[in-house]
Structure formats: C-alpha cells, structure tokens
C-alpha cells in the first residue's frame, strides 16, 4: 500500500502513486459522475437481456444468448437486400419486357441495366471471357468491333440466349469448321498453301507462289462460308479472315492448326438459366463495352 501524501501547494491528498516524481492529486469526482457510471452498469445488464450477448457451449457447438427482442444483424442485412431488390424489381421487369433499343434510350433504366449486366457478367461470363471481357485464345474479346455471330443488340441477345454449339438448345448457333487435315480432305501442301493465302488476306504475304496456289484451294473449300476474299459471314458464324482479330491466333502455325484440326468452340445457352431481365441486361452491358454494331 502506498502511504498517504499531501500535496504542499494545494493541500490536496495525492493518490499515492508517483511517476518520475510527479504525483496525481486525489480530487473528488462529482457524484453525478459516479451515478452515471452506475447507470451504464445497469444499462449493460439490460443490454444482455435485450440483445444477443453471451456465447455458450451446447452439445452441438457454440451458440449465444439471443436476447428478448430477437435482434440479429443478419436479419438487418437480409431486409436491406430485400428492400433494394424490391426497389429494383420495377426496373428489372421493364428491362425484361422492353425492346432493347428503348432501354438504351432511357438513361435511368440503362444505368440499372448496365449495373445488373456488369454483376451478372462477373458471375457467369468472366470465367471464360475474363473479368474485363477481354477474352483469351478461343474465347472472344467482347470489347472489340469484330463479331463472329454479329454485334447488334439482337445478335448478342440471340447468342446469349441460345449459346453456340450448345447441345441442350434447338436454336443454338451452329456451324462446322472442318478438320481438313485430320479428316484427309486436304494434304499437307494444300494446307500450307491455303494458310499462306489466308495470311496474304490480312496483308502479310510470305510465299507468293504458295499463296497463289492456296487461293485455288480457298476458292474450292472455304468461300462457301468465309466468302469471296475471306471477309466472313456473320449469318453462318464464319470469321472475317482479313482483319487483325484472330480468335485462335493469327500466325501461320495457328492457322495451319486451325485448318488441319478444325475449331468448334462452345458457349452455353443462358436462356432458361438466367431470367430474361438478366439476359437483356447482359446484352446491353456487352453491347456497351465498345464494339456494339448498329
């Protein structure tokens, strides 16, 4: 115990504690202060009864006292989320039923659609197309202006709803890029020649002679889908071979591989998995990324 000590200047008793020779005066607290302190203690007891407070162990694990008014933060969050969903439901209903062009012309509705579209994209599309829709080999970049199956609002909507080469959907987009090498339709030389020709279509002429020979192969085998001059056909999902965008790589080795083994990428049909409002929102979101066609 500390001894009693009186401060000389003020004549006030000190607490008896000394820090580097500095002592603390033991001045009295006001009574209302201590009563306020008691009140907070009473309050804490009331709080234990009213609110969730004490953890305890049961046979099935830890739980806690629930409190008499049944307050739970999870319920608060659930209610808040429900309120947001309810506030948005009117907008999402309109997004599900209105023509896409009309939604695009309504800035307020468009804001909701783009927000919902972005969230749905992250949940459903990002695994293949990337979080920024930048795509990767075999998965198209949705930001650019090159569309295999068309980039208008309706085209994008159809692709989203029915998918590409998706077994479960009768209206799915379908075509075949045949395996010309594997199936023995073209020999190695012909494949090399046609690859040289395809390179020349995007201005990367290598072997002129081979390309000239390849033009004949192209005319007999490829124009049906890729068209005269290789500009592609969105109706058939045949890519444009003259531009700078290559889904499976544009260098010669990749082109040879594509011609030899064919390509048949798959995109799931989202109709039935996602509601119509979400599909419309996704359509508008993808369209807004910067490559949408009129």
Partner 1 sequence: MTDTATTLESLAAEAAATAGANPHGREGESYTAVNSEKNRSLYASRVKVYPKLVHGSFRRLKWLVMAVTLAIYYITPWLRWDRGPSLPDQAVLLDFPARRFYFFFLEIWPQEFYYITGLLILAALGLFLVTSVAGRVWCGYTCPQTVWTDLFIHVERFFEGDRAKRIRLDKSPMSVGKLARKTGKHLTWILIALATGGAWVFYFADAPTLAGQLVSFEAPAAAYLFIALFAFTTYLLGGIAREQVCIYMCPWPRIQGAMFDEDSLLVSYKEDRGEKRGPHKKGTSWEGRGDCIDCGQCVAACPMGIDIRDGMQLECIQCALCIDACNEIMDKVERPRGLIAYDTFRNQERRRAGEAPRLNLVRPRTILYSSVLALVAAIMLVALSNRSTLDVSVLADRNPLFVRLSDGSIRNGYQVKIVNKEHSERTYRVSIEGLDGAILTRAVLAGEANEIVVVEADKLENVRFFVSLPAERAQALNGGEADFDFIVTDLADGKTATKETTFRGPAE
Q: Which residues bind partner 1 (CB under 8 A)?
A: 10-13, 27-34, 101, 104-105, 110, 130-134, 141, 143-146, 240, 243-245, 284, 287-288, 290-292
Both tokens of 284, joined, read 């508008």
Min CB(30)–partner 1 separation in Å:
6
Min CB(232)–partner 1 separation in Å:
10
Question: Toward partner 1, which CB reaches closer, 33 or 54?
Answer: 33
Question: Toward partner 1, which CB reaches closer, 44 or 136?
Answer: 136
Which of 146, 145, 126 lies closest to 136, judged by CA? 126
How far apart are alpha carbons 72 and 75 in whole angstroms? Answer: 5
Which of 276, 250, 268 lies closest to 127, judged by CA? 268
Query: Which residues are CB-contacts of 21 (< 8 A; sequence separation ≥ 6)?
Result: none
Both tokens of 99, joined, read 């023509």
Min CB(106)–partner 1 separation in Å:
9
Min CB(128)–partner 1 separation in Å:
15
Question: Toward partner 1, which CB reaches closer, 19 or 32?
Answer: 32
- Indicate the SS3 state at residue 14: strand
How far apart are alpha carbons 249 and 254 in whole angstroms? Answer: 6
118 membership: H or E segment, kind and range: helix 107-124
Question: Toward partner 1, which CB reaches closer, 35 or 48?
Answer: 35
Min CB(105)–partner 1 separation in Å:
5
Question: Toward partner 1, which CB reaches closer, 269 or 284?
Answer: 284
Q: What is the DSSP letter of 6?
A: B
Question: Toward partner 1, which CB reaches closer, 12 or 119?
Answer: 12
How far apart are alpha carbons 90 and 88 in whole angstroms? Answer: 6
Strands 61-64 and 55-58: antiparallel
Phi, psi of 226 (to 5 degrees): -80, -10
Under 8 Å between Cβ of 141 and 133: yes
Min CB(228)–partner 1 separation in Å:
18
Question: Toward partner 1, which CB reaches closer, 214 or 292?
Answer: 292
- Indicate the SS3 state at residue 16: strand
Min CB(134)–partner 1 separation in Å:
4
């Amino acid at each position: 115990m500390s001894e009693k000590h009186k401060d000389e200047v003020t004549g006030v008793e000190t607490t008896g504690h000394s820090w580097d020779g500095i002592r603390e005066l033991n001045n009295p607290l006001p009574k209302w202060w201590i009563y306020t302190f008691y009140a907070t203690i009473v309050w804490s007891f009331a709080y234990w009864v009213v609110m969730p407070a004490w953890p305890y162990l049961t046979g099935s694990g830890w739980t806690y006292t629930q409190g008499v008014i049944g307050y739970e933060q999870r319920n608060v969050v659930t209610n808040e989320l429900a309120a947001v969903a309810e506030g948005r439901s009117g907008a999402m209903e309109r997004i599900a039923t209105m023509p896409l062009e009309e939604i695009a012309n309504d800035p307020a509705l468009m804001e909701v659609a783009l927000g919902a579209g972005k969230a749905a994209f992250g949940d459903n599309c990002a695994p293949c197309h990337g979080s920024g829709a930048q795509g990767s080999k075999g998965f198209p970049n949705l930001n650019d202006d090159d569309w295999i199956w068309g980039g208008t609002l309706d085209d994008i909507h159809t692709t989203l709803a029915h998918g590409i080469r998706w077994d479960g959907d009768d209206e799915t987009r379908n075509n075949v890029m045949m395996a010309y090498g594997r199936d023995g339709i073209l020999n190695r030389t012909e494949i090399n020649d046609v690859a040289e020709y395809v390179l020349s279509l995007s201005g990367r002429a290598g072997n002129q002679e081979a390309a000239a020979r390849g033009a004949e192969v192209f005319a007999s085998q490829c124009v049906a889908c890729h068209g005269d001059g290789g500009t592609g056909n969105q109706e058939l999902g045949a890519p444009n071979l003259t531009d700078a965008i290559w889904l499976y790589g544009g260098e010669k080795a990749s082109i040879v591989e594509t011609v030899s083994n064919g390509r048949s990428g798959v995109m799931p049909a989202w109709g039935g998995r996602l509601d119509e409002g979400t599909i419309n929102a996704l359509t508008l979101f993808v369209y807004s990324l910067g490559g949408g066609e009129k």
